[in-house]
Chains A and B, each alone.
Chain A
């Protein structure tokens, strides 16, 4: 008589292939949409909010100016500036009146960028509670440098929340 034996127990492992497919899709998605290591010189500050606004696709022709109220009646303006318009950009404070030379560093920088690039744009990031008297000299410098396009960076809010 043939002896009947129990068949070997076989634990079926879950099929992980679809999981890997989904995870790989997610990785590719995040690699494409995330901006890692791209610095525009924008500093953390409480900027105003607006419902309307446009997005800037090409940030290559822009210079971001961070404007804050200064110690005296002059604004404190910082930006990521390339020396002579070439090379590595470094965070720089652009004084409206350099105490040593008396020059307007902000105006000189804007003129330098404008001379090199006809499509040069300025992005202004200002503290929401900053009085206009601190923003005005920056706008005047932009006008003097013949900057044709000034963009005010704002937080995006929906019409429902209203900020």
Chain B
């Protein structure tokens, strides 16, 4: 005759967590695949997009701003090249252009003209590619000019 003694020890395993983990993992994978994150694109801001000859339509343009023009051209038949003319400099090297613009900005400041009073115009040719204009625009921003605008194509 089997005599049973004290009750067998029973370990309480709790609720089964496996389905919960499965559902949570599926939700996580969905969010990882469906979501799109920022951080891969940004924006270059232009306060005065373009001016027409004679002052333009944008009322925010201050009439007594000092204007400085950077001319950008693409050599005939070489659409994938460009040359930026800033003062005496003619270059397609953005580092040189940035240095030249920085020197020019410091000249303006030394002459008592604050950077906010200087309006840099980019004067592109009709065939200059947009990506080159962005490079020139960026060079002007790196030189710490705050107001950069475009002229109609020459």
The answer to whether B31 and A131 touch across the interface, beta carbons within 8 angstroms, is no
In the complex the two chains form, is A10's CB within 8 Å of B11's CB? Answer: yes
Instruction: Give the residue name and chain of the A residue nearest to B31 (CB).
Output: A30
B129 touches A30 (CB 8 A): no
Count A-B contacts at CB 8 Å. Answer: 163
Q: Is the interface of A mostly helix, strand, loop or mixed?
A: mixed
Chain B residues within an 8 Å CB radius of A88: none
Complex alpha-carbon distance, A56 and B18, angstroms: 42
Q: Contacts A20-B24, A143-B57: A35 and B37 contacting too (C-beta < 8 A)?
A: yes
Task: Check A50–B134 contact: CB distance below 8 A.
Answer: yes
B91 at the A/B interface (Cβ < 8 Å)?
no
| Given A35-B35, A50-B134, A151-B45, CB of A132 within 8 Å of CB of B142 | no
What chain A residues lie within 8 Å of B32 (beta carbons)?
A: 30
- Asked, given contacts A16-B21, A131-B126, A156-B40, whether A54 binds B34 with beta carbons under 8 Å apart, the answer is no
Q: Select one of A16, A23, A129, A142 contacting B130, CB under 8 A.
A: A129
Q: What's the tally of chain B residues with a CB closer than 8 Å to chain A?
A: 57
Among listed B47-55, B62-70, B100-108, B111-119, interface-contacting one: B47-55
Nearest-CB distance from A22 to chain B (Å)? Answer: 10
Pick the contact of A148 from B20, B37, B41, B58 — CB < 8 Å? B58
Contact with B along A28-55 (1 / 0, CB 8 A): 0011011110000000000111111111
The residues of A that contact B126 with a CB separation of less than 8 Å are 131-133, 136
Number of interface residues of A (CB under 8 A): 55
A53-B35 in contact (CB<8A): no
> Considering only CB atoms, which chain B residue lies closest to A144 in the complex?
B57
- B145: min CB distance to chain A, Å: 12
In the bound assembly, the distance between CA atoms of A131 and B35 in angstroms comes to: 34
Select from chain B the residue with minimum beta-carbon distance to A133: B126
Contact indicator B17/A16 (Cβ below 8 Å): yes
A79-87, A89-97, A98-106, A120-128 - interface stretch = A120-128
Q: Say if the beta carbon of B131 comes within 8 Å of chain A.
A: yes
A149 and B47: CB pair below 8 A? yes
Nearest-neighbor residue (CB-CB) of B59 within chain A:
A146
Instruction: Contact check, B28 vs A152: say whether CB atoms are below 8 A apart.
Output: no
Interface check A139, CB cutoff 8 A: yes
- What is the CA–CA distance of A162 and B49 in the complex, to the nearest angstrom? 26
**When the two chains form their complex, are residues B35 and A128 in contact, meaning their CB atoms are under 8 A apart?**
no
Q: Which of B9, B43, B51 is in CB contact (< 8 Å) with A54?
A: B43
The 10 closest A-B pairs by CB, nearest first: A34-B35, A53-B42, A139-B50, A48-B131, A30-B31, A151-B43, A128-B131, A133-B126, A150-B49, A48-B134
